[in-house]
Amino acid sequence: MSNVRIGFSPTFTAGMYYGTGIVMNTFSLDIQMMTKSTNHINQNIALERAKYIIYEQFSDSIILGKDDEDQRQRFEDAGFRVILMPEECVDQILCLAVFTKIEAVVEDQMDIIDISLRSTFGGGVSYLHGEEESVGPFEASGWWNQNTPVCSKTKVTKKKVVTLDNPTWKAIDLDWNDANEQEETIIEVKLEKKTEKVDTSSENVVEFKPNDKK
């Protein structure tokens, strides 16, 4: 069944770089979605993709603004996953980034109707965005509007572009279900054991007769 409205309210923690250091902040999201596909398996996969982006990409990452790209290498060398924004590193921009990326990865299986984001250090302010509104700097091409499972495509090391070993949706078992895919046919072959017949025609049969009494 399509056109089913669902809500998803994840929470994650990430580090925001503000020039002098990293501030670990906790973000709470409220995402409203509507299913488009009639394939219930793909509906579930779309939701799992959204969870993957939140919990496996944004969560525990270091988020940098566009003017802090020079800090990227040192954080990656320390083992952190780094997400580079096309604008300054603030809650409103992060809200747009999450919206755009999730909209990209659910493809034509769901519509992202609206999203709100608030953070521990946000002073109680929620940032809202609806599907009819402009995503501003995220209109440009970048990791945020690609349907891949990652929020970063390349890194720069000494003016050389190095491609990251990026996973695919198929590799993490979140590829779309093909409804037209033929089911595997299993043919069961039963072998009956033949019973060996014993020829008894040549056996000697001894007939016992009782003694005649006179």
97 in any annotated domain: yes
194 in any annotated domain: no
53 in any annotated domain: yes
The number of folded domains in the chain is 1
48 in any annotated domain: yes
pLDDT (0 to 100) of residue 115: 98
Distance from C-alpha of 130 to C-alpha of 172, rounded to nearest angstrom: 30
Residues 6+ apart with CB under 8 A from 163: 153, 154
The answer, yes or no, to whether residue 141 has pLDDT greater than 50, is: yes
Model confidence, pTM:
0.79
Domain of 158 in residue numbering reads as 5-163
Q: Which range (50-59, 98-107, 171-180, 199-208) has the least confidence? A: 199-208
CATH code at 44? Answer: 3.30.479.10
The answer, yes or no, to whether residue 109 has pLDDT greater than 80, is: yes
pLDDT tens-digit readout, 1-53: 788 999 999 999 999 998 889 999 999 999 999 999 999 999 999 999 999 99
Mean pLDDT, rounded, of the chain: 85
175 in any annotated domain: no
177 in any annotated domain: no
Q: CA-CA distances (angstroms) from residue 67 to 84, 85, 161?
A: 10, 9, 19
70 in any annotated domain: yes
pLDDT (0 to 100) of residue 212: 53
